[in-house]
Amino acid sequence: MKDFSGRTAFVTGGANGVGIGIVRNLLNQGCKVAIADIRQDSIDQALATLDNREVMGVQLDVASRDGFKAAADEVEAKFGPVSILCNNAGVNLFQTIEDSTYDDWDWLMGVNLGGVINGVMTFVPRMVERVKAGQQVGGHVVNTASMAAFLAAGTPGIYNTTKFAVRGLSESLHYSLLQYGIGVSVLCPGLVKSYIYASDDIRPDDLKAGARPVNHEAVERLAGVHEFGMEPDVIGARVIEAMQANRLHIFSHPDHKDELRGIFAEIIDEYQDYPKDPGFDQRVGFEKMRHDNFAEARKKSREAKF
């Protein structure tokens, strides 16, 4: 995306952390920005720092489909069609899968994955229809995943699951929306100066059954660690640059490059030189069509200039 000025952007989890960094950078590019967040007090505090800017706040639980539609209608009535969507809201539980409950799964899946799905399903069809009708030129979707979309240790298990899913959703959507000139990126940050360590503060009451007691000492330790996280405005600037380049993956933190290279090498090493099984040649012949089509899609993505 080259032209930001005058566009309307919708940013979930936009009142702090990565979200506010994206918001400030979009405003600096001349966008009208809607800050969507579950915390009204955080929205109010964010808006107070953004005087004389075209920005509005809307309280939203991203796990609610009806809430998303209502928020979309409210924002577009005031600011016009949304053509930049940043699905950034997220929560975390720092625990293993075997120590988790169904309520833990429902909470994290509802926000981290369901929130992205709801954002995409609310806004992307509107974007596509406007492009088809000649009422809009392109657009961009940024889905915040995490380096946890690539690095899956034992903890945090559910969080890893949701972020892997967001990565897959984003990569698929990136290629399906190329034809409309709508870019899609997946943001994979590392440690950020944010409040995600305090996610329990906003856990819905109806999903607290079986929840483990909050370890306040651990929360304090995580708060200290996050103080050394990357500044949100730095990440926001790198998001803008990646959108301008129509880059699929946004790796805001250079910290993990060597680690990721090692993991990819380990994955390739786990391929075995099995002898040909019956049907091998026919199967490979069929896969070649898929392989060639996907290679062509990746080539078009790299060459896209919208």
| Residues assigned a catalytic role | 159
**Residue 87: enclosing H or E segment and its boundaries?**
strand 82-87
6, 49, 167 from 298: Cα distances, Å = 30, 41, 16
The length of the chain in residues reads 306
CA dihedral angle for residue 198, residue 204, residue 208, residue 209, rounded to 10 degrees: -170
Q: Exposed e or buried b for every residue in 148-185, given b needs 16+ CB within 10 A?
A: bbbeeeeebbbbbbbbbbbbebbeebbbebbebbbbbb
Q: Are 38 and 16 in contact (CB under 8 A)?
A: no
